[in-house]
Chain A
């Protein structure tokens, strides 16, 4: 799951949260929230995307800026809810 999921999330972040002219690089360790790439409001759309893609429900108390601050952090969060 991990490699496919990683690529899907990175591609989604690039498509939805970066301007089409942006030269910002994103990898699994890029700080998404604390670098302002995904602000705390936009986090909700990212959460909705993940829930839809993985057919899960992430409780609000788990959907923190820290949990969403990198693709690696997101993958760690998904492990709690996605049945392999």
Chain B
């Protein structure tokens, strides 16, 4: 029997108070997520239970009990406090998926500071943009990534501390300090900042069509939504062994790779390696993973390796599979049932929603290819893209819209209230995705409503890529669009018009690809570059990405009445 029991009954009768009460959120004035993910679990008598099994790419393993998480996060919180970090300060975590990343996140929250995890593959410019916008006060990183931080430090006057968690004998400079989590004196008692339900907790940067990436700011009461969806969508029970493959540089990795996991008292496993079919299956077998939360891109890569690869391992421990990041195609759902004896359940949400909002639930009929139904407590509809009025006819495509006010809804975009306010129309929060709803209430994803590229479940903004392309010495004009890809859903394709004196050839294409990869990230790197004489523009000079995208997709080009004539 699943945790949720009857979806229909739960949806009909749901109140967020149910989740808050189950979590005892606010008891004795305590609202800090860090407490609920460590100390509270220990107080429930689970202090000696394994909270984290970790495995690195060399095969090294470590394990941490909930009491270890409690004490190490205390140690980090005290260390940061001694370094002058206080409530509301932004502390970036810029590391690979090592234990210090997960535990530092809890420590930052316990202090009442704002955790700002960033994907460790970000290049200098991408890192600078996000630290500059947030006026980040401290960054926690490793030797491997310290060089990138050092090269942008001069441009970040608000950045006061660079904490290196694996410094060992490496000489440190200026405001760099070493923190050796395992070697420092353990801090058994730390006064956790109780905060309040609306106090900021986590900030994740996310990309849009225009402008720079935006910091979606979440508050401590977001845990109310993350906790109940971890229990009802992921079906997590205390006895589960859980593996969330997402990197905590992205919202899935914090909402469900830390908060949702540890607030439910599960044992979770983390493996710090890239994709490798055999190693992934061996990991599931070794730790007897029961619940697996992964991404469609990874699932499609596993499909490519086929059922034969599965048969080399004993994956019988698996009991529930969920996916996230982009729509899960029907073929993948059907294949997973054949390969693992279990279907992947697609879940839908965003950085801005903080937690799952539409999903397939255990025990509920899955329609392969469907996003599922609204999470209890969420009112989800589709609206007309011109009027933002609710669409009542099943099967009609509109914009996915949510009634504002669920606990994990972002409270603002940092420094960008105007864009935040623009997300709300006619009393609805507009997600930016298009979908239809069938007569049984299942959502069917159609596509983005803007130019944002969804590559392997990560949103990449074309503006950021185009701005970076223009910094290449050879590039006169640029446009970035999503090109359909069978594994990643979309990959970045760039259209580039060159400056006089530069020749379009394979050398230049490779040079530009590497330039963007190092400046921004591997995700933002154009997988192909098409050199063109000029880009389609409106008479006002705006690049018509829509035309380029339609061509890539083999779609109708649509209205070109505003296209500038040659």
Contact = CB atoms under 8 A, between A and B. Distances in A.
Interface of A: 16, 19-24, 31, 33-36, 39-42, 44-45, 48-49, 51-52, 64-66, 69
Contacts of A39: 121, 274, 522
Interface in B400-459: 455-456
B384 interface: no
Contact of A35 (B57, B146, B148): B57
B146 A40 contact: no
A64 B274 CA distance: 13
B273 A41 contact: no
A35 B525 contact: no
B275 A40 contact: yes
B152 interface: no
Contacts of B275: 33-34, 40, 65
B147 A36 contact: no
A68 B307 CA distance: 22
Given A34-B57, A39-B274, A52 B147 contact: no
B238 interface: no
Nearest to A43: B522
Contacts of A36: 57, 96, 272-274
A24 to B, nearest CB: 8
B447 to A, nearest CB: 22
A2 B455 CA distance: 35
22 contacts: A19-B145, A19-B148, A21-B147, A22-B144, A23-B143, A33-B274, A33-B275, A34-B273, A35-B273, A39-B121, A39-B522, A40-B274, A40-B456, A41-B491, A41-B523, A44-B491, A45-B510, A45-B517, A48-B510, A51-B506, A65-B275, A65-B276
A4 B510 CA distance: 21
Contacts of B150: 21
Given A34-B275, A36-B272, A41-B517, 10 more contacts: A19-B148, A20-B147, A21-B147, A35-B57, A35-B274, A40-B274, A42-B517, A42-B522, A45-B510, A48-B506
B145 A44 contact: no
Nearest to A24: B144
Q: Is the interface of B mostly helix, strand, loop or mixed?
A: helix
A29 to B, nearest CB: 13
Interface of B: 57-58, 96, 121, 143-148, 150, 272-277, 279, 301, 304, 455-456, 491, 506-507, 509-510, 513-514, 517-518, 522-523, 525, 527
Contacts of A33: 274-276
B147 A22 contact: yes
A23 B167 CA distance: 13
A22 B277 CA distance: 28
A48 B528 CA distance: 10
Given A34-B276, A52-B506, A45 B148 contact: no
Contacts, number: 78
A69 B522 contact: no
B57 A52 contact: no
Nearest 10 A/B pairs, CB to CB? A41-B522, A21-B147, A34-B276, A35-B57, A42-B522, A19-B147, A52-B506, A45-B513, A34-B273, A44-B527
A30 B491 CA distance: 27
Nearest to A32: B274
B72 to A, nearest CB: 24
Nearest to A19: B147
A52 B121 CA distance: 25
Nearest to A48: B510
Contacts of B513: 44-45, 48
Nearest to B150: A21
A39 B522 CA distance: 8
B514 A45 contact: yes
B476 to A, nearest CB: 22
Contact of A52 (B96, B491, B510): B510
A66 B507 contact: no
A33 to B, nearest CB: 5
A28 B150 CA distance: 30
B277 A66 contact: yes
Contact of A66 (B147, B276, B523): B276
Contact of B274 (A24, A34, A49, A52): A34
Contacts of A41: 455-456, 491, 517, 522-523, 525, 527
Nearest to A69: B276
Name the residue among B58, B509, B513 with the largest chain A CB count within 10 angstroms: B513
Contacts of B144: 19, 22, 24
Contacts of A52: 506-507, 510
Most central of A34, A40, A41, A66 by chain B CB within 10 Å = A41
Contacts of A16: 514, 518
A19 B525 CA distance: 17
Nearest to B148: A19
A65 B35 CA distance: 40
Contacts of B301: 40, 65
A23 B523 CA distance: 24
B233 to A, nearest CB: 27
Nearest to B97: A36
Contacts of B491: 41, 44
A64 B304 contact: yes
Contacts of A66: 276-277
Contact of A42 (B58, B147, B277, B525): B525
Contacts of B527: 41, 44
A49 to B, nearest CB: 6
Nearest to A16: B514
Residue in B456, B491, B510 with the greatest tally of chain A CB atoms within 10 Å:
B510
Nearest to B272: A36
A60 to B, nearest CB: 9
Nearest to A34: B276
Nearest to B276: A34
Given A36-B57, A40-B275, A42-B525, A48 B145 contact: no
Contact of A65 (B274, B455, B522): B274
